[in-house]
C-alpha cells in the first residue's frame, strides 16, 4: 500500500470515531413510567397497603352492632379498686345506709358531689352491701333527679296541701312512691307512646309529665356508663366494716329499656316535699329509683369485671 493510501485510511477511521462519539453524547435518554420491576416497593405501598387495611376490618351486617369496649374511666377505676380490695375489710366512714358508698368514694379519692354528671371521670359509681346484683328486688337504688313539667296550674307550695297529707310532725307533706300501679295516695304512672311522654296521674287526672327525650338525656348525662360495686359488710353503725369485692360495669342506657322497666314496676318515682313552718316549700327533688336486681336491664351492655 502506498503511503498516500495509508494515511488516507487512518484519517477516515479517526473521522468515523469522532462522528460516532458526537452522536452518542447528543442522544437524550427517554424517561418511562416506573414499573413493578424498577420500583417494587413503591408499587406495594400504592396498591397493596390499602387492601391490607381493608382485610383487617371485619364485615358487619346491617343487623349487627359492635360490642362496647371498656373505657379509660373503667381502666383507671379498676386500678384504684384493686388496691382497695386487697386491703380487705375497711371501717365505715359514715354511719347508716349511705356509708357503703361514701366510704368507697372517699377511699378512692372521689369527692362527694351532687353534680348531674358521673362521679369518676364521668362514670357513675354505686355501691351496695351483700351479694352482687342478684339480690331481693325490695332493694332500691337512686337513678337520677328530674322534676316533671306540671300541667295542673299550681305553684309548688300549693301542691303539697292539695295532693298530700299532714305528717306526724303536724306539717303538710307529700312523700309518696309512684309506680305503674296506683298508690294509696292516688298516684300512678301512665305511659303514652304516641306523645312520647311519661305521665304522672293523680286520682285519674294527668297533672305532670316527662318527655321520653328528656328522660333519655338525663340517663345519658348521669348513667352513660356506671360501675356497681358490691361489698361484704360486718358489724353495724360506727363499727360497720366493708370488703369491696365485686364490680359490674354497665354502658349504653336506653330510654326504651327505662320505659319498659317503668311498665314492669321496676322503676318508680319518689315525691319528696313538705311545707316549712313559714309556708315555703321544701322540695328534696323528684327521684327516679330502680330495683337493684333490674339495673342490668337498663343497659345494652352489662359486664361483670371483678368477681
pLDDT tens, position by position, 168-194: 989 999 999 999 999 999 999 999 999
pLDDT of 157 strictly over 60: yes
Q: Angle CA(247)–CA(251)–CA(252) in degrees, nearest 5?
A: 165
pTM: 0.63
Backbone torsions φ then ψ of 15, nearest 5 degrees: -65, -40
Give residue 12's pLDDT.
Answer: 53
CA distance 140 to 302: 18
Question: Residue 296's pLDDT band (boundaries 50, 70, 90)?
Answer: confident
First vs last C-alpha separation in the chain: 113
Give the model's pLDDT for residue 104. Answer: 94
Topology of domain 72-306, per CATH?
Alpha-Beta Plaits (3.30.70)
SS3 (DSSP) at 74: helix
Instruction: Measure Cα distances from 20 to 6, 14, 23 in Å.
Output: 22, 10, 5
Any idea which of 134-148, 181-195, 288-302 has the lowest mean pLDDT? 134-148
The answer to whether 288 touches 268, Cβ cutoff 8 Å, is: yes
Which residues partner with 275 through β-bridges? 281
Assign 170 to helix, strand or coil.
coil
Spans of all domains in the chain: 72-306
Is the pLDDT at 83 greater than 80? The verdict is: yes
Per DSSP, the three-state class of 205 is: strand
Q: What pLDDT, in 10s, does the model give residues 17-46? A: 454 554 544 443 443 433 434 333 322 323
- Select from 135, 157, 184 the least CA-distant residue to 294: 135
Q: How many residues does the chain have?
A: 307
User: Which grid coordinates belong to 169?
Assistant: 310532725
Contact 270, 293 (CB under 8 A): no
**Contact between residue 259 and residue 198 where contact means Cβ atoms under 8 Å apart:** yes
For residues 17 and 283, which has the higher predicted lDDT (pLDDT)? 283
If we measure between CA atoms, which residue out of 104, 112, 108 comes closest to residue 128? 104
Query: Across-strand partners of 188?
Result: 201
Amino acid at each position: 500500500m502506498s503511503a498516500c493510501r495509508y494515511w488516507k485510511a487512518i484519517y477516515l477511521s479517526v473521522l468515523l470515531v469522532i462522528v460516532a462519539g458526537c452522536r452518542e453524547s447528543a442522544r437524550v435518554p427517554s424517561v418511562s413510567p416506573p414499573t413493578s420491576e424498577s420500583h417494587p416497593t413503591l408499587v406495594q405501598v400504592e396498591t397493596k397497603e390499602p387492601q391490607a387495611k381493608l382485610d383487617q376490618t371485619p364485615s358487619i351486617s346491617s343487623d349487627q352492632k359492635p360490642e362496647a369496649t371498656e373505657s379509660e374511666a373503667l381502666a383507671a377505676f379498676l386500678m384504684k379498686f384493686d388496691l382497695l380490695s386487697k386491703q380487705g375489710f375497711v371501717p365505715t366512714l359514715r354511719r347508716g345506709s349511705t356509708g357503703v358508698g361514701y366510704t368507697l368514694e372517699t377511699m378512692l379519692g372521689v369527692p362527694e358531689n351532687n353534680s348531674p354528671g358521673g362521679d369518676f371521670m364521668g362514670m357513675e359509681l354505686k355501691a351496695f352491701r351483700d351479694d352482687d346484683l342478684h339480690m331481693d328486688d325490695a332493694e332500691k337504688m337512686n337513678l337520677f333527679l328530674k322534676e316533671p313539667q306540671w300541667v295542673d296550674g299550681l305553684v309548688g307550695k300549693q301542691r303539697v296541701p292539695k295532693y298530700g297529707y299532714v305528717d306526724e310532725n303536724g306539717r303538710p307533706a307529700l312523700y309518696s312512691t309512684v309506680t305503674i300501679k296506683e298508690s294509696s295516695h292516688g298516684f300512678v304512672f301512665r305511659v303514652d307512646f304516641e306523645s312520647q311522654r311519661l305521665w304522672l296521674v293523680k286520682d285519674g287526672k294527668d297533672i305532670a309529665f316527662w318527655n321520653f327525650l328528656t328522660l333519655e338525656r338525663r340517663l345519658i348525662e348521669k348513667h352513660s356508663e356506671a360501675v356497681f360495686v358490691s361489698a361484704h359488710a360486718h358489724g353495724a353503725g360506727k363499727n360497720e366494716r366493708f370488703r369491696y369485692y365485686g364490680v359490674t360495669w354497665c354502658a349504653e342506657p336506653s330510654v326504651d329499656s327505662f320505659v319498659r322497666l317503668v311498665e314492669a314496676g321496676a322503676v318508680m318515682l319518689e315525691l319528696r316535699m313538705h311545707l316549712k313552718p313559714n309556708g315555703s316549700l321544701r322540695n328534696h327533688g323528684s327521684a327516679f329509683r330502680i330495683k337493684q336486681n333490674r339495673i342490668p336491664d337498663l343497659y345494652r351492655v352489662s359486664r361483670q369485671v371483678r368477681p
